[in-house]
Structure formats: structure tokens, C-alpha cells
Amino acid sequence: MQQKIIILDFGSQTTQLIGRRVRELDTFCEILPYNKFPADDPSVIGVILSGSPFSVHDPEAFRVDLSQFVGRLPVLGICYGAQFIANICGGKVEKTNTREYGRANLATIDTDNPLFKGFQPNSQVWMSHGDTITAIPDECYDIASTTDVQHAAYASSKWPLWAVQFHPEVFHTTQGKQLLSNFVVDICGSRQEWSPASFVETTVAELKEQLGNDRVILGLSGGVDSSVCATLLNRAIGDRLTCIFVDHGMLRKNEFQKVMEAYQGLGLHVIGVDASEKFFNDLKGVTDPEQKRKIIGRDFVEVFNSEAKKITDAKWLAQGTIYPDRIESLSITGMVIKSHHNVGGLPKEMHLQLCEPLKWLFKDEVRRVGYQLGMPERLIKRHPFPGPGLAVRILGDITPEKVRILQDADDIYIESMLQYVCDDGEVLYDKVWQAGAVLLSTVRSVGVMGDERTYEHPVALRAVTSTDAMTADWAHLPYDFLAKVSNEIINKVKGVNRVCYDISSKPPSTIEWE
């Protein structure tokens, strides 16, 4: 039986990060809404309560029945989780005059307590809360404090229960991984059996059992998720998998041909469909970003369904849905961060069952599985690319000529990034989470080329660093690289006379412009 840690989500922005840190300890975990604890699941070996945007005193604050697991399983409360436990169990939580946010250092640490095994004196932690615990429950005792926070961490002498008011999952808590390892491995007893190799072995066996001799259809996008999904299914069911790759005309330069060749090298049966004329006709004159997305999504389903119906004996539709897609699309606060094309059900007329082999994986785990499957590095290391393609990187209406301009500029940018070697020997492309060019087709700027005045479009370059795209920082690309790329785009791409660099982070901006 596969062991698992349950992370109960109270709405924190860093709940996914807790999950990723647990997975890094080769331990499977599942993030569930705060009120969905699986009481009858014998594979659960421990419970983590996340932070929350709420105060425990807010009328709308999320609450859970602690008796479901406290006293039965090891429990770790983080930030709001720690305050909620204290508040429910007889302690006291009060608002502070100043919000405790940012770096702090543990002034006292009980290194004899198993949660703090291996901690160094004065270890740095990250605080992020407006309330603070002013009294801990009876039968609990302090195991860490800072200069300003007396009850930075506490434990129960009655139950296997620990709580911390800081965030061990974030980078700024320097020994956060040590703390989580102490809890997950030492306290909960994880066998650390979750790995790409074990995932492939288990999933292939499950797919063989689930699908039997049925035929499966998969929509390929050229991205990492759908490519790994296809390779995994191909290993399980071979030629009973049929892949459909739709070219909507807004892919990167020559991408349709390159990706089709890569898929042939993987031994996949792929039907390539050039539907660009339909998409361009339906997008003619449309400028609203959301309307563009809806038209592309609608047309994609129509084209895909048309091809899928030709495979009359298919019973399953496979999708490369990954764990963050599902979490973002099912926000417990009631506010969906963003809708994902892989989440939300199937068109009723397809009459197909859904197969999602990657639905428990984070993006970095998908890549590790890809390596385990022996896939080519050029497919695994590809940056994320939006489903609507370059349509969400062209401000204004979409025309073939605008797509041509952006494809040429984007190609120079990405190819230059692939060829640029940094001082540490790493390729610049591999240091960046996602990069692409944006055409500001609603704007024209004055320029001079030779002795002539020009009045053409600016191009904005975008590059971000991230771990899961939930948050992202703009990448600090070398000046000499930016200068070379700018010069090459302006000289070689007809229709562009100015290049800008986007230095906005997410939040408040998004990674894509539309």
C-alpha cells in the first residue's frame, strides 16, 4: 500500500509548495480542501494543516473537526494551522499591533524535540501572519521562539501533534526542508518510496488494468505534459493509442513540423491536422482577449471532435492534466485562479471516458518522469506554452501577417537563448521557466532605419523564473544578450522597429499578456 501525507488546504498561497516539498522527500501527498479529510483511508500516515488568508476569528474562516485525526495520526499545523489548533484546543490567539511578516530567527530551539532534530542555533524562518498565539493549550509546551514571537513552535505532550507559526515550505526558512523531513520521515515513518521510477512502474500497470484492450485518443499540444502523457500511455497500450495534433496556425515558427518529427521518433501514432485557415477566419476582427480564447477553445474542440469521430472504436480520451491544473481550477476560497483547458469535463457528444495519468504530478515531477521514460531532452526541457498559442501574445486582432512577425521575432529570441552559455556554464534557456515574445500590434512607434522614418510595431520580450507558475519573478537576463537579441530582431524582422523587456512579476502581473 502506498503511504501518503494529507495536506488540508485552508487557502494559503503556499499550500502547493508544501506539497512539492513533501514530494521532494520521495513521499506521496495529496492536497485536499480543509473539510475533505479521508477518514477511512488506511494509507494516510500523517496530516499537515496549511496556512490561510483568514484569521481564526473571522466569521468566514475555514474550520475542521480535529477529532478526525488528532490523537490518531501525527499532525503538523503551519501558521493558520498552528493558530487554529491552539484556538480550538484551549489556547489563545490575538491580533498583533503589527503584522509579523518576513525573515526572523529562532532565538530558542528545543533540538531534543524530533521536529527540530539537526537544527542550527539562530536558524532563519519566514513569518507571515497578522494574529499570534499568546497562550498555548494545556498539555502543550514551547519548542521554539523568536525575539518577538514566544510561541513560534509548540508540541503536545498528550498527542503526536506539532505546530509552527512560520512557514517551513518557503525558501527563506533555511532549514524548512529539514523540519518537514523530520516530520514526514522520522515522525510519520515514510518509507520514501515515491519516485519517478516507481510512478512509471505503478502507473503503467494501472493503465493496463484500467484500459484493457480499449482504444484511447489523446490530444497532443507539443508541450511537456501531453508528450509525457502520450509516452506513458504508449508504453502501457502501444498502438491502441491514437494522438491528434491540431495546428491552429498560432504555434511557434516551424513548430508543427518539428514536433511531428519528434513524435515520430518516439514511435507514437499521430494524426496531424492543419486547421489554421478555420481559426484565422473565426478570429478575424476579434480583439477581446477572453473572446479570442473562447473562439480558439471552441474551434479546437470542433476540429478535435471531427477527427476523433473517425476513430469509431475509441472508448477513452486521455489528457495531460497535472496536479496544479486541478488545484487552481478548484479553489476552496471560491475564486478560481484560472480555468484550464484540461479541467472541467468532456463534451457530452464524445461519449468517452476520461483518462488522466499525470493528474497527481507537479510540473517538475512530469519532467523527471519524462527522463525516466527515456524521452529526448528537447521535449522534456521545453518551456510551457499557452494552449491558444501566439494569439495571447498578440495584442489586438489576429492576422496571418501579425503571426508571421511574432513567429520570426520569437524564433530569434528563443534560439538565441538556447545558444547563450552563461558564466557558470549553464545554457540561459535552462535557467528560465518560460520565455516568449509579445507583439504590441495595437501600438506603433517611430523609428529611423537608414535615412528613413519608420512607423512600426514594438515587440516586448518576456522571461520569468518560477517553480510552478503560481508565482513568478522576471528573469534578470544579461544585458549583452538582450542587446544582441534586440538588434537582431529589429534588423531581421520586417514590421518591428523597437524591442522592450517586461520586468513585471506575478503577482500582480500574469506571465502571459492576455
- What residues act catalytically? 79, 167, 169
**Cell 514511435 -> residue:** 267
Asked if the bond preceding 508 is cis, omega within 30° of 0, the reply is yes
Dist CA 463 CA 9 (whole Å): 30
**Sign of torsion over alpha carbons 90, 91, 92, 98:** negative
The residues, ordered by sequence, that sit 6+ positions from 298 with a Cβ below 8 Å of its Cβ are none
Cβ-based neighbour number of residue 447 at 10 Å = 15
User: What single-letter DSSP state applies at residue 506?
Assistant: B
Cβ-based neighbour number of residue 206 at 10 Å = 12
Which is nearest to 8 in space by CA: 29, 26, 27, 34? Answer: 34
Dist CA 253 CA 493 (whole Å): 13
* Cell numbers standing for residue 435: 520565455
Q: Are 375 and 231 in contact (CB under 8 A)?
A: yes
State the first-to-last Cα distance of the chain, in angstroms, to the nearest integer.
44
* Cell numbers standing for residue 491: 534588423
Per DSSP, the residues of 326-348 read HHHHT-TTS--S---TTSS---G
Cβ-based neighbour number of residue 482 at 10 Å = 16
Q: Are 365 and 254 in contact (CB under 8 A)?
A: no
**Cell 549553464 -> residue:** 426
Q: Residue 73 to residues 6, 143, 164, 314: CA-CA distances in angstroms?
A: 11, 20, 17, 44
> At 166, phi and psi to the nearest 5?
-105, 175
Q: Are 83 and 165 in contact (CB under 8 A)?
A: yes
Across the strands, what pairs with 274?
247
Q: Are 393 and 411 in contact (CB under 8 A)?
A: no
Strands (E), 196-349: 215-220, 241-247, 270-274, 314-318
